[in-house]
Structure 1
Amino acid sequence: MTRYLISFNDGAMDHIPAEEIPDVSKATHAVVQEAVNAGVWVFGTGLERQQASIVATDGMVTDGPYPETKEVIGGLVVVDVASREEALAWAAKIAATCRCAQEVRELLPDPETDAMLREADRRR
């Protein structure tokens, strides 16, 4: 299985009238439940609209994002699926319920971190 990041830009849902947000939320949670039931859901969340902080390699903290940044992530989902086509299918469901386009990117595998997480789960 391969993990994919499905995300949308901050402000992508601004076109939705406030009175329709409860319906959007209900539909989106139904897709989340479907993904959980299918065993592909890893994680998902929306991000607060706030100015990010950038932490440099020397530990210096500055306000961000950088001025040249045109778009920032507004929300994300991680799914663990067998193929890119399956990730695109989940993205299509999310796009329909969130009423905004979704970007799909494959995450790099990290067997060492996965092993650490399995060990941590085992100890719990």
Structure 2
Amino acid sequence: MHYVISTTWGPTDVTRAALPFIFGASALQAGDTVMIMLFHDAVTIALDGAHQKMIPFGPPSKFAELFTNPNAQVVVCKPCAEVRSIQESMLVKTAIFGGMNDLHQEVSRPDAKFISF
């Protein structure tokens, strides 16, 4: 199964921001693949060094598991990042810029399940 996850939650609510990453880590553990698309406030999670400082209240932090797993892809909304003066060179090395066309392409896969947080 291929899970496509979109989220808008970032450091303004770290616990909510962690939930899609926890789900994604669970999917990876089960042998699935994951693409997570970060929109709005969530784009700041992909800034190099940011997710290490984000500690959710209660659930375990799983941010690094998606950034480091070869079966996971982290895509940052380019317009959302650019309006925040974030350049692709400022991101974790495994994260990339993308847009709605990328999300649509992933969701259109026959083996994809779409989840939005």
Tell me the TM-score normalized by structure 1.
0.32
TM-score, length of structure 2 as denominator length = 0.33
Larger Rg: 1
- Structure of higher RCO (CA pairs closer than 8 Å, 6+ residues apart): 1
Kindly indicate which of the two structures has a greater share of residues assigned to helix. 2
